[in-house]
Amino acid sequence: MPWKENNNGKEPWGEPDQKPSNNSKKKNYGFNIDNLLINFLSKIKKIFFNGGTGNKKSFISAILILLVIWLLSGFYKVNANEQGVILRFGEWIRTTPPGLHYHLPYPIEIAKTPKVTKVHKTEIGFRTFRESTRFLSEESLMLTGDENIVDINFSVFWIIKDAGKFLFNIRNPEKTTKSVSESVMREVIANTAIASVLAEGRKEIELKSIQEIQLVLDNYGSGVQITQLQLQKVDPPDQVIDSFRDVQRARADKEKIINEAKAYRNDIIPKARGEGAQIVQQSEAYKKEVIARSEGDINRFNSILSSYKNNESVTKNRIYLETLEVILQNANKVIIDTKQGSGVLPYLPLPEITKRKRKNKNESNNINKNEPSNINEENVQNVQ
């Protein structure tokens, strides 16, 4: 503010006297258009009527320079991201592409260069201020087609498609874009069931909304082009979100219990197949065994038979005696002569015999343990 220091509180514009001039009214510092005009006119008069030819020339050249500057002021640049809109006395006469152009100087024509590639963002249901986000539930809560309520935040991205239309066809284009977007989104949601909104329907909602918003804005001749619509948050309202989460959990529970059942199936069926195979194999083994045993028995019998054929009666007697020998060796034996004892009833102390037998058995337990092979074999056969 350099003038403040040396004008002693006077208005800076009221200082025409600083220029070299011999006008008698130069001491009048009042800010008065009449004074200025008189000053100016007297100068002109002086130049035209009193001044020499040199003064006249310099005045004309000054006028010419001003004229040239004025004419040159009509050049304007339209950047790559802009469109030039030319107004002649307020009338829109043309739109120019990027590059250097000329218009008739102010005030006849003026150029407006709105940025057409700038992507504008309209937020609905929330506002972001720098880092923080504020949610607006009265904007974001929407009724669905099946009379449920969803909480939706979305952003609409748009550019100026036609600068002229954008500037001249519509008042408040930003506000209109927002109102239309909100209205269309609500209309689309009102036609959709909540399950579809929350799940697979998102893409479709975005596409439908973009189309419809564009249609309405084109109908207004707004010059706005929607480039993108993003559904940011699509949730059930806070009041019911727990119930929705429980549904998710239930779905997971369902999967889990089914998987457990499948695991159980995968566990028992192979085991059963194994068990089945075991049964078959054991049967095969039994089959082989009985056949082998029968063959063995027969072979043994054949051998004995062939020997027996050589000397039938001796062999037969020998076998008979040996067998009885073995049998009677360890048995209790009571011999009753039938001829002598026929008249008397022979008395057999059966309980006593049994008792003695038990006693013997207990005593021989240890011995029996040393030779259990017969019993074991029998057991195995029984099992098979």
Partner 1 sequence: MFSKKIFIPIILFLLFILFSALFIVKQTEQALILQFGDPIRIIKKPGLKIKIPLIQNAIFYDTRVLDFDAEVEEVILSDQKRLLVDAFIRYKIIDPLKFYQAVINENGFKARVGGILSGSLRRVLGSDPLEVVLSKNRSGLMEKIQEEIDKEAVNFGVKMIDVRIKRADLPKANSEAIFARMRAEREKEARQFRAEGAEESQIIKSTAEKERTVIIAEANKKGQTIKGEGDGEAVKIYAKGFKKDEEFFAFYRSMEAYKKVFADSEDEPTFILSPDSDFFKYFNNKSGK
Q: Of residues 178-237, which lie at the interface with partner 1 (CB under 8 A)? A: 179-180, 182-183, 186-187, 190-191, 194, 216, 219-222, 236-237
How far apart are CB 329 and partner 1 at their closest, in Å?
7
State the number of binding residues for partner 1 (CB under 8 A).
Answer: 121
Q: What is the secondary structure of 39-65 as a DSSP string?
A: HHHHHHHIIIIIS-HHHHHHHHHHHHH
For 275, the token pair is 């068990």
State the virtual CA torsion across 88, 90, 94, 96 in degrees, nearest 10.
Answer: 90
Rule CB under 8 A: is residue 265 a binding residue for partner 1?
yes
Strand, coil or helix: what is 141?
strand
Q: What is the secondary structure of 185-222 as a DSSP string?
A: HHHHHHTS-HHHHHTTTHHHHHHHHHHHHHHHHHHHT-
Strand, coil or helix: what is 1?
coil
Stretch in the footprint of partner 1 (CB under 8 A) among 9-17, 59-67, 198-206, 316-324 = 316-324
How far apart are CB 346 and partner 1 at their closest, in Å?
8
231: left (phi over 0), alpha (psi -120 to 50) or beta: beta
Asked whether the beta carbons of 155 and 213 are under 8 A apart, the reply is no
Strand, coil or helix: what is 35?
helix
Footprint of partner 1 on 38-57 (CB under 8 A): 38, 41
Rule CB under 8 A: is residue 10 a binding residue for partner 1?
no
Among 57, 289, 355, 377, binds partner 1 (CB under 8 A): 289
Among 58, 323, 379, 381, binds partner 1 (CB under 8 A): 323
CA distances from 272 to 266, 267, 268, 281 (A): 10, 9, 6, 14
Rule CB under 8 A: is residue 12 a binding residue for partner 1?
no
Rule CB under 8 A: is residue 126 a binding residue for partner 1?
no
Rule CB under 8 A: is residue 269 a binding residue for partner 1?
yes
Rule CB under 8 A: is residue 32 a binding residue for partner 1?
no
Altogether, the residues listed in the chain come to a count of 384
Rule CB under 8 A: is residue 69 a binding residue for partner 1?
no
Q: Which residues pair with 100 in a beta bridge?
A: 77
Asked whether the beta carbons of 80 and 97 are under 8 A apart, the reply is no
How far apart are CB 275 and partner 1 at their closest, in Å?
6
Distance between CA 221 and CA 210 in Å, rounded?
A: 16
How far apart are CB 82 and partner 1 at their closest, in Å?
18
Rule CB under 8 A: is residue 25 a binding residue for partner 1?
no
Asked whether the beta carbons of 315 and 323 are under 8 A apart, the reply is no
Among 44, 72, 247, 314, binds partner 1 (CB under 8 A): 247
Stretch in the footprint of partner 1 (CB under 8 A) among 7-15, 23-31, 113-121, 240-248 = 240-248
Asked whether the beta carbons of 217 and 162 are under 8 A apart, the reply is no
Q: Closest CB to partner 1 among 69 and 93? A: 93
Among 330, 366, 376, 382, binds partner 1 (CB under 8 A): 330
Rule CB under 8 A: is residue 104 a binding residue for partner 1?
no
Binding mask 127-156 for partner 1 (x = CB under 8 A): -----------x--xxxxx-xxx-------
Distance between CA 223 and CA 376 in Å, rounded?
A: 102
Rule CB under 8 A: is residue 357 a binding residue for partner 1?
yes
Footprint of partner 1 on 360-379 (CB under 8 A): 360-361, 368, 374
How far apart are CB 235 and partner 1 at their closest, in Å?
12
Stretch in the footprint of partner 1 (CB under 8 A) among 2-10, 57-65, 95-103, 252-260 = 252-260
Distance between CA 88 and CA 134 in Å, rounded?
A: 44
Q: 56: Cβ–Cβ under 8 A, 6 or more apart, which residues?
A: 47, 48
Q: Closest CB to partner 1 among 60 and 279? A: 279
Q: Closest CB to partner 1 among 79 and 283? A: 283
